[in-house]
Structure 1
Amino acid sequence: MTRWVCIAALLIASPVSAETLREAVVAAYAGNPQLAAARARQEALAETPEQARALGRLTAAGDGTAGYDRFGYGKGGIASVSAALPIWTGGRVPAAVHAAGRDVAAGAEGLRDTEAAILESVVAAYADLLYNQQAVEVARVGIERLDAQVAEARSRFGLGQATQTDVAQLEAQRASVVANLADAEGTLATVEAAYRAIVGQSAGVLTAEVPPPVRLPTTRDQARERAATDNPLLLQQRRAAEASAARIAQERAERAPSLGLVGSYGYGGRFGSGDLRGYDAGAVGGVALRVPLLTGGLVAARVRQAEANNRADRFGVDAAAREVERGADAGWALLTAAQGRLAANVEGLRAADLALRGVRAEYGFGLRSTIDILVADQSFRAAQLAVARSRGDVLIAQAALLRATGQLTADAYG
């Protein structure tokens, strides 16, 4: 807690009404068009099991034809209704339903990863914008501080306690910081546009106080365990392997016979000599049996193809498991390094602040030169920016580790 208190005391304080990272995540989750498109595609995929079930249900259709005969029979037509009800499909329908269900499950995991990727981009945009906002503020405060220092140097020059060179050195430093401010404001405008594109709204002033995510792993082993059980890409690959296994059974079922009930009812008539003459109505009902006898090797080839696809998917599971473990280890290493860098930069900022105040006090007694003031001021501003950048790096590393462990969701930040 002391670390964060020190950061808040030494950096520019954020306004009370600042926008939080949680608000940015919620806004992007609700309105990002890429995420909405991914959800729509998943909804379309979710209809495939119902389509597979329809292959085993009752179907009916009506047919009608009409025509004209110029050989004296006149106008005529036929209307009929037919229906079919599968009784036994040889396992085709259950296998197709199971495969479609696994496809839907794989798609759901893919949607989770898409959500995590977009939210990770939101965190990166937030961190980048936060840094650039603070960079602009650091430059503005630095100019105000140098204005006071230039005024003091001019007063000392008037009293014969400083030279024109001292004044010129401070003015040159101020001009350099003004140029830095112009660059920072230009970069800030670009970063704000990128933030608005992904979040869907203008940022306003961001808050630098971001509590650590509650689902963040506390050890590397815990990160590995969560990644092995919750990483969406690994789960997606597993569901894909299950779907390809179901398709083996689906292709094998093409060798089995199928049985169903069929029926039809029809009526025909012709219109001639001013009256309608109908034919006798006809109805047919019975059992239809289909037994595959020879397919020219087509079914066998499709079975071998399905088996090969399943082997590839199983190898894909092994590869995804290795990649997930690598991602968890890399995420943990990046977060550890970012946290260590932040702690070191906080200590450097504290020392730079103390040094600047000390050099100013000694300058008043003639114990320090203008060069000492300039060096101390530049070091202080560099330390402020280093802390701001490190804070953003921690946010980005946290999001990367959450994504690797399958925990980067809309409620990850509270």
Structure 2
Amino acid sequence: MKHVTSSLTRYRRHRWPFRAGVLTIMSLLAGPASAADLLTISRDALEHNSTLASARAQFGGVQAGVDVARADLRPQLEASGEITHDRQYESPGSSLAGTGGRQDEDYNGAALTLAATQALYDARNGAELERAERQLDQQTYRLAATEQQVLVDVGSAYFDILRAHEVLEARRAQERAIGRQLEQAGEQFEVGLIAITEVEEARARFDQSRAERITAESNLQVSFEALERLTGERYDSLATLQAAMPVMPPTPMRRDDWVAMAMERNPLVLASQAGVEVSRSGVDVARAERLPVIEAFARYQYSDDDREALDGHTSASQVGARVSLPLYTGGRTSAGIRQSTYALEASQYDLEDRRRETIRRVRSLFTQVRNDVATVEARAQAIVSNQSALDATRAGYEVGTRNIVDVLNAEQNLYDAVAAHAEARLDHVINLLNLHQQAGSLDVDFLTTLNGWLTAEAAVSVRPTTPDA
């Protein structure tokens, strides 16, 4: 438990400044902006995401559960009262009948009881309070994990929009280029320079590029819908990635450093650690069923009625202590201890599984981010190479050493390379975002860094326009 408590202290040291920073950003970005950026989207998600709102409500419920458990350790005061109507009937053979005849009487009565108890020793209540506090620790980590997952989902949806936009721009440029090639082929056919087959080849490739552009437009629209579901807001335009966005290996440079960071700060790992302590507290609760309960009590009773034969009222008071000890419960206590012990064992295995899965994901993401650097460089070089190949093919076509199919293939290869380069850049950003989430280092500073890579000079519109065919 000391380990989890220290982990919680360290985590709160990292987490609460993050949340305070996000709230600061939310207040700074409260006004409208010409093009929404990553921080704007994050603010909207933290305010309006339904999954996060549900997690916050669950956190509030668990937090209230601590007060419920603590209340059992405090004094308990109870008042009860009753008002009665009584009818008394004495038969002729009763002792009262011999003294003065039958004694039939109707009367009203009232009684009041005040009782107070205070637990002096109750191991079960103390263990239940400990369990409730550990459940609050666990829910704190779960809420933090939900917050980070929402930010990752929003960031991924945001950059997926930029990915779809970059691909769409490449497909539009491809369609325009092949359209010009089709026009040129038609003109050359009219003057008898080429055969009709080359015109048909160009037309077929143009139709294919048009279909690819339409698909890219559809993907862009769908990606905007995904972002709206996460934030509950619609956006007219989004800031895009700068052309000079840095593509660098993750910092720190050693994979083991990222793994160590995740073991210390990943909220799901910490939630699993807290889950072990919750289960351990459950064992203590079950074992406490065997222990005695000692409590002090005080009671005051007052009663009165309106019978003619009696004057005044009756009152009584008691002060004392009681001890109770379960002797035999039919085996329920022993079974409860076994049940909670198995739950503790299961939670320990769950923690180990969570650690292994987190280590696997951190290592995988670290490798992907590091490889992304080389991939982006290679994709950029592929654009240069394909542009050179296209220029050479066009020159060969002009002198008759290449045909139109060669030119069209070179056009296709160039714009495929452009789209692949755009996707590689966005993959790098999304992988980096996921790596920081797994390491538990998704904070304001990192979001601000990513936001600095954006520019509103060439914003992405939610309603892409179709170029003229």
Query: Is TM more than 0.5 here?
Result: yes
Instruction: Give the whole-Å Cα distance in 2 for the aligned partners of 1:301 and 1:214.
Output: 54
Tell me, which stretches of 5 or more residues in structure 1 are unaligned?
1-15
Q: Deviations over 1:307-353 (max 9, x none)?
A: 33223322333332222222222222333344433322221112122
> Pick from 246, 265, 272: which aligns with 1:230?
265
**1:255 is matched with which residue?**
290
- Counterpart of 2:106 in structure 1 is 73
Contact 2:137 2:274 in 1 (8 A): yes
Contact 2:178 2:408 in 1 (8 A): no
2:161 maps to what in 1? 129
Q: Distance in 2 between matches of 1:18 and 1:232?
A: 32
1:10 matched residue in structure 2: none
Shift of 1:63: 0.6
Q: Which AA in structure 1 matches 2:107?
A: G
SS of the aligned residue for 1:292 comes to coil
Query: Quick one: which amino acid aligns to residue 235 of structure 1?
Result: L
Equivalent position of 1:200 in the other structure: 232
* Other-structure match for 1:28: 45
Equivalent residue of 1:75, what SS?
strand
Deviations along 1:206-240, one digit per CA (max 9) or x if unpaired, are 41346679986532111211122112222111111
1:61 aligned partner, one-letter code: E
Q: Give 1:17 shift.
A: 5.8
Give the structure 2 partner of residue 9 of structure 1.
Answer: none
Selected match of 1:92 from 118, 124, 129: 124
For residues 119-150 of structure 1, give each alpha carbon's deviation from its aligned partner in whole angstroms, at most 9, with x where no partner exists.
33223322332222222222222233233334
Corresponding residue number in structure 2 for 1:370: 404
Instruction: Give the AA of the match of 1:232.
Output: P
Unaligned residue ranges in structure 2 (runs of 5+) = 1-32, 89-104, 449-469
Residue number in structure 1 paired with 2:364? 330
Question: 1:3 — aligned with what?
Answer: none
- Secondary structure of the 1:177 match is helix
**Greater CA drift, 113-122 or 359-368:** 359-368
Match of 2:303 in 1: 268
Matches within 5 A, 1:43-192: 43-71=60-88, 72-89=105-122, 91-157=123-189, 161-192=193-224
CA RMSD of aligned residues (A): 3.0
Number of the residue aligned with 2:29:
none
- How many Å separate the matches in 2 of 1:205 and 1:56? 55
Mapped partners of 2:59, 2:283: distance in 1: 24
Change (3 A) 1:281 1:407: same
Count, aligned residues: 397
Aligned-partner Cα distance in 1 for 2:393–2:34:
36
1: CA distance, partners of 2:269 / 2:334: 31
| Closer/same/farther in 2, CA of residues 214 and 65 from structure 1, 3 Å limit | farther
Structure 2 residue matching 1:87: 3-state secondary structure: strand
**Residue matched to 1:301:** 335
CA-to-aligned-CA distance 1:350-372 (integer Å, 9 cap, x gap):
21223334434554555543223
- Tell me, in whole angstroms, the C-alpha distance in 1 between the residues paired with 2:249 and 2:112: 68
Q: Secondary structure at the match of 1:173?
A: helix
Provide, for residues 250-272 of structure 1, a one-character-per-residue CA deviation record: whole Å limited to 9, x for no partner: 33333332322211222222346
Corresponding residue of 2:440: 406
- Going from structure 1 to structure 2, the CA distance change for 1:44 and 1:362 (only over 3 Å counts) comes to same
Contact 2:247 2:428 in 1 (8 A): no
Query: What amino acid does structure 1 have at the position aligned with 2:294?
Result: L
* Distance in 2, Cα, partners of 1:138 & 1:252: 68
